[in-house]
């Protein structure tokens, strides 16, 4: 069995893999940081204090950003494309928080007070939106507009 072809493909593609992974991880960390700075409640402090609703809400943020970033990696035509769609994902997740806050009224206060139901609602909105964004990124018609 000849392993030279797959090994050559790995060696040729590995640097690009590392670059894309590093950019995606940097975008992920930056997005989480920006999100925590823009929300009125301090998720990490609440999580450190043992607040389960803050942990659930933040888990929705983590998964809600990771799912579309994974799709961005799969369908992006390059680093710039990855950055554009990654930023759009962050903006949509911030809007999702605002929507959930309008819908439930006082969401940051409720999460800070340990309201698990509010946190689960926010988490479901974020993950649901992430799945929809991922589907939109995978749409072949979107690839046409990107020149693909």
- Per residue in 49-99, pLDDT (tens digit) is 999 999 999 999 999 999 989 988 888 888 888 888 888 888 888 888 788
**Locus of tokens 């949509």:** 92
DSSP for residue 144: H
* Structure confidence by residue, pLDDT tens digits, 5-37: 888 888 888 998 899 999 999 999 998 998 888
Q: What is the pTM of this model?
A: 0.82
Average pLDDT, the chain: 86
Reading the block at residue 88, the tokens are 């759009």
DSSP state of 49: T
At 87 the pLDDT is 86
| Cα–Cα nearest to 66, from 89, 50, 48 | 89
Evaluate if residue 142 carries a pLDDT over 60.
no
pLDDT at 82: 85
């Amino acid at each position: 069995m000849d392993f030279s072809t797959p090994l050559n493909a790995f060696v040729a593609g590995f640097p690009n893999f590392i670059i894309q992974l590093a950019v995606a991880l940097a975008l992920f960390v930056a997005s989480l940081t920006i999100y925590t700075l823009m929300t009125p409640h301090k998720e990490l402090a609440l999580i450190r204090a043992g607040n389960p609703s803050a942990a659930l809400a933040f888990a929705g943020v983590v998964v809600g950003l990771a799912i579309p970033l994974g799709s961005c990696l799969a369908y992006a035509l390059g680093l710039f494309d990855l950055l554009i769609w990654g930023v759009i994902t962050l903006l949509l997740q911030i809007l999702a928080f605002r929507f959930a806050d309008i819908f439930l009224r006082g969401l940051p206060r409720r999460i800070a007070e340990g309201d698990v139901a509010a946190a689960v609602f926010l988490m479901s909105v974020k993950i649901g939106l992430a799945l929809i964004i991922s589907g939109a990124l995978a749409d072949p018609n979107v690839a046409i507009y990107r020149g693909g």
